[in-house]
Amino acid sequence: MTVVALVPAAGRGVRLGAGMPKALVQVAGRSLLVRAVGGLLDSGRVHHVVVAAPPDQVDVVERELGEFDAAAVHVVAGGADRTESVRLALAVTERAVPDADVVLVHDAARAFTPPAMIGAVVDAVLGGASAVIPVLPVADTIKQVDEAGAVTATVDRSPLRSVQTPQGFRPGVLRAAYDAAGDAATDDAGLVERAGGEVRTVPGHPNALKITTAFDLAVAESVLAVEPI
Ligand code: CTP
Ligand code: MG
């Protein structure tokens, strides 16, 4: 049984505004990327990690990941958007690990994802699901508004979920979804849905938040100060 994780890490981190790719930003002495890759390997369920790096910083990212087993962690040049970065990492994975049973796609920006949650996604795919996403209930009240900003409806939030990563797939299902994909998507499972596939859910975790802004980074630093995540 072989599990591969693709880690899109080629973004510029514009909203974080750290002046460097977000994946290389450090929290308490370790970069988001090292934490994300470390979490995947610490789950004990992931055999290979393929990281999509900013194309002009492949060597920097390779050095950054030097603490890990070089046979398990590979770096490829990413693309102009997340979908392209995943597509490029997937192509390398298919050549390097043609016998994979599960492919995960996991944002480097979700650096504090609990390893047990990663294991739950792998288990759900091995249990027969073709696509699996971790989700959380929506905490805020959700309104629908018109173009002028006036409220047109209050949406029933009970069936709504916010979506995290890692998302897990049978390799052929992810490949078919990317082959059918036209536009870029923010969510790999969304491509499976578009291609008519069924997507299952497992419980997400607050620590798997995506570090997007300086506020998110401050939240992660505060949590780290009281519990080792
Ligand atoms: N990503 C990627 N390739 C891109 C763009 C994004 O691999 N061309 C990755 C990011 O590195 C991140 C994940 O996709 O791990 C989610 O993207 P996001 O949070 O939007 O990160 P950035 O694109 O770096 O941030 P921003 O949009 O603020 O620039
Ligand atoms: Mg982005």
pLDDT of residue 97: 95
- Tell whether 148 is covered by a domain: no
Residue 194, C-beta contacts closer than 8 angstroms, at least 6 positions apart = 177, 180, 181, 185
The CATH number covering residue 12 comes to 3.90.550.10
- Tell whether 151 is covered by a domain: no
| Beta-carbon neighbours within 5 Å of ion ligand 2 | 11
pLDDT of residue 184: 76
Q: Which helix (H) or strand (E) holds 202?
A: strand 200-203
User: What range defines the domain where residue 80 resides?
Assistant: 3-135+161-226
pLDDT of residue 139: 93
- Number of structural domains (the chain) is 1
- Tell whether 193 is covered by a domain: yes
- Tell whether 153 is covered by a domain: no
pLDDT of residue 127: 97
Give the integer Cα–Cα distance in Å for 13 and 55: 14
Instruction: Write the DSSP symbol of residue 213.
Output: S
Ligand 1 pocket: which residues have CB below 6 Å? 8-15, 22-23, 52, 78-82, 85, 107-109, 210, 212
- Tell whether 28 is covered by a domain: yes
- Tell whether 114 is covered by a domain: yes
Å from CA of 55 to ligand 1 middle? 13
pLDDT of residue 79: 97
Give the integer Cα–Cα distance in Å for 36 and 31: 9
> What is the tens place of the pLDDT at every residue in 73-100?
999 999 999 999 999 999 999 999 999 9
Point out the ligand 1 atom lying closest to the alpha carbon of residue 211. Answer: 19
Instruction: Encode the chain (229 residues) as per-residue pLDDT tens digits.
Output: 999 999 999 999 999 999 999 999 999 999 999 999 999 999 999 999 999 999 999 999 999 999 999 999 999 999 999 999 999 999 999 999 999 999 999 999 999 999 999 999 999 999 999 999 999 999 999 999 999 999 999 999 999 999 999 999 999 999 999 999 877 777 899 999 999 999 999 999 999 999 999 999 999 999 888 877 6
pLDDT of residue 116: 97
Å from CA of 13 to ligand 2 middle? 7
- Tell whether 94 is covered by a domain: yes
- Residue 121's nearest CA partner among 184, 199, 59, 15 is 199
Give the integer Cα–Cα distance in Å for 220 and 229: 9
Tell how strand 131-137 and strand 161-163 pair up. antiparallel
pLDDT of residue 227: 79
- Residue 27's nearest CA partner among 164, 218, 213 is 218
Which amino acid is located at 28 in the chain?
A: A
Point out the ligand 1 atom lying closest to the alpha carbon of residue 79. Answer: 8
